Amino acid sequence: QTGISHVVSEGGESVPATTLDRYLDEAQIDRVDVLKIDVEGYELHVLRGARKSLEAQKIQAIYFEYMQKLAARFHPPSDLLNYLDGLGYQTCVCRNYDIGLRGSPTHTIRDGMPGAGLRLIPLIGFEPLLGTDLLAVPRENLAALAPT
């Protein structure tokens, strides 16, 4: 979690790149159960390239590292969470340690969906920790847990 991997303005090496939307279309992939992103603060850039797939909810879950100091190099960190929210995804705390800091899990992924039963706390009314892993899922795929 150092952020050492980064794009340089001079030198470096050119590599081919594409968007997730283009890749999924060309590979004729209609559904992604879990998309794992670890791109050192470029998460919003990656997800902007998946807008069509996110709008169609082809992607059932997005697991990503949320590091405010890395995201802040390119945009306000809240932009990433707001982008997902605007596309109908609820971002949740998913690591047991982080859930323990917030209390008890309140939601899960509904039956029949990838990750069903996973215990989560939606980011509603509080900010995520400065550095953690988060899971974003389409809102309709979440189910409230019965109070214990």
Residue 8 has pLDDT above 70, yes or no: no
pLDDT at 128: 67
Q: Rounded to two decimals, what is the model's pTM? A: 0.86
pLDDT tens per residue across span 47-64: 999 999 999 999 999 999
Question: Please, which pLDDT band fits residue 119 given cuts at 50, 70 and 90?
Answer: very high
Residue 13 has pLDDT above 90, yes or no: no
How are strands ordered across the β-sheet holding 142-144? 35-37, 62-67, 131-138, 89-93, 119-122, 107-109, 142-144
Residue 42 has pLDDT above 90, yes or no: no
User: Tokens 């900010």 belong to which residue?
Assistant: 127
In 3-state terms, what secondary structure has residue 62?
Answer: strand
pLDDT at 72: 63
pLDDT, average across residues 9-17: 80
**Angle ∠(47,86,20) on CA atoms, nearest 5:** 20
Furthest-apart CA atoms within the chain: distance in Å: 57
pLDDT at 106: 93
In 3-state terms, what secondary structure has residue 44?
Answer: helix
Residue 4 has pLDDT above 60, yes or no: no
pLDDT at 7: 62
Higher pLDDT, 132 or 70: 132
